[in-house]
Structure 1
């Protein structure tokens, strides 16, 4: 039995869960999410909780048992409290600005990069620059990606980070706030 898969999922008071075969629909104050589970996993409502069980003992069923439970639990968490992904951009002239539903990123290219925000995703940008920890004297901006779909929040964060990943010498670039960058020593110079 999967240690994660066997844990029950509590249903908060403002959340409505609809089970239709393999399809799970979770509706809450922040939005609605739906998921179609694989054949080897099923969800059962019992005493105001959701239990995820597997239909067989095959390797595939055991693998998807914990995954299915985690996905359903993330749906319940997302529609109640939502998910956040704090990020930082560090470097001389590197900036982030939000105008309407469009995020504009200046990251050392000859042109600004604009990203249209998907539905259900919001971004908060700290308007003033501050020193970024883990860099060599770099100023930067902090911003937070928020949403009720964990996968959409993570996908957008990865897409933004891929624009200018942090480099290992000065720490310039876009990174997750909790990400640790090991800075390399530069050239030693003439002797």
Structure 2
């Protein structure tokens, strides 16, 4: 019995030191980093919107593929695809696909941003990546809270499709230093 206890004690000690060794694990170079995890939250969100817009423009985005895309970005920020009957926490990026069968109705991907994430996304970073904001409608500044602004994706996507644009809604007008992007819609217009 004493030999068994000694064997178990030695086995546990060996396992402890094996698990806590100071040598690098399997072929991981010292100092190597994943570029995807080095991006800011704002950059990751822009990458998600850009990827979704590209696939939407090509007609390669359906509910299942959007689910795979949202799941792949869940390691960077909390994100959830619309599911019937599921409550959406107010700390999660919520994504919904509106794929209309009518010939004149626009298809849309709706992306709702929680406050903490929406405050990190700026109009400056959006326009730097996607292009300039569209022309403001005549009564744009007459509103207490700003209506959504548009960013045409024609140049950004290399003229893949006409009628694809972002519609961005924020708590304040685009030039405000402190702002919160509330939602982004990727819209593919069919009526042109």
What's the TM-score bracket when you normalise by the shorter of the two chains?
Answer: under 0.3
Compute the TM-score of the two structures, normalised by the length of structure 1. Answer: 0.23
Higher strand content, 1 or 2: 1
Query: Larger Cα Rg: Structure 1 or Structure 2?
Result: 2
